Structure 1
Amino acid sequence: MDSNFWLQKWQDNNIGFHKSEANPALVKHFGELSLPNSSRVFVPLCGKTLDIAWLLSKGDRVAGAELVELAIEQLFEELKVSPKISRVGEVSLYSAKDIDIFVGDIFDVSGKTLGPVDAIYDRAALIALPEEVRKRYTAHLMEITDKAPQLLVTCEYDQSLMEGPPFSISQEEVNKHYSDNYSLSLISSTDVVGGLKGKYDVKESVWLLQN
């Protein structure tokens, strides 16, 4: 899977992964991070998720990274905000009050480019990446955020039934990537009503990663 996979998804408007409301797991469990007001939350592989609008509505600041520029153009259009667009190294920066979105390959986003963040909210990144990329991604994420605490949402199902994304992420894999650097708490694990794509049994897990 390469960048063209996601570019084609957005160009074809084949974005069934985009939800029409803020993720219930975020709404229910965001408080577990115990962040002060006006915290800066990093949302990797953010697309145009309504989770961003929800975080902004709570008074938090949002930083995001997204490969597909069309997604971010639509994000700001739906937020009814005109971004300032600039170039920062290998990525473009779309910024406005309380929001900075880096458009390009997340591996081209450095800690210096990103700036300080208070927490990470990963609902769509880890599960979107194939197995051979996930180890590199998790190491990079910890590096650029200085191991900021995370609210991580994963799904688990029989991977032999379909190709991802989303990819199935087991509890063992979460531990493999993060247990050396975080204290991990599984705060929710529930069966998804309707299953995955209406076909396959799937369990959604919400993790709190703290150091």
Structure 2
Amino acid sequence: MARWLVILGLCLLFPTAFAQQSPGGAPAAAGSCVACHGPEGQGSGAYPHLVGLGEAYIRRQLDAFASGERANAIMKPIASGLSESQRQAVAAYFSGLSPVPADAAAGAPPDGPGRTLALHGRWQQDLPACVQCHGPGGQGIGEDFPPLAGQPAAYLEDQLKAWRAGNRPAGPQGLMGHIAERLDEDDLKAVAAYFAALPAAGEAGDD
């Protein structure tokens, strides 16, 4: 938490400094983004990969942060400090980046309940398989179902908790709200670990 507060304070107090750190070709508005998400949008820990996400999806999330519809103490002031055109420019920039090849990644995704939920669901609890909406290998489908593969496990787990708590819009037909509320703590960790171990969107290979 202390680290988040320091980053937030720097982003708010010194936007020009962060803008000067923007990677080549990035809009100035992306300057504060690289502090947490990295110059190539690669993210880490609780900060998601932005590279590989669609432009419309990123823009929609920025708008939700700005309006408070998606609750996040760090992203709310950053997103609301950007104009609509700046949010669009940030979305276009990060969606257009090429994935950074992973270092000898984590190896094969783990067997167990996370894999089962991801590939088969748990129909006795009305839980569909994650890949039914997010695509083979969790590579994402269209504007509404982003890639899960390769996202940090901590981030995926946090988002499932946010849906369960009603702190994030539940998406098309309220699907993610209904799904998350049926997952216990072990389920959250297992399915997050499974997708985190898969090759990120744009990298070769599906599970």
- Same fold (TM > 0.5): no
TM-score, with structure 1 as normaliser: 0.27
**Going by fraction, where is helix more abundant, 1 or 2?**
2
TM-score, with structure 2 as normaliser: 0.27
**Going by fraction, where is strand more abundant, 1 or 2?**
1
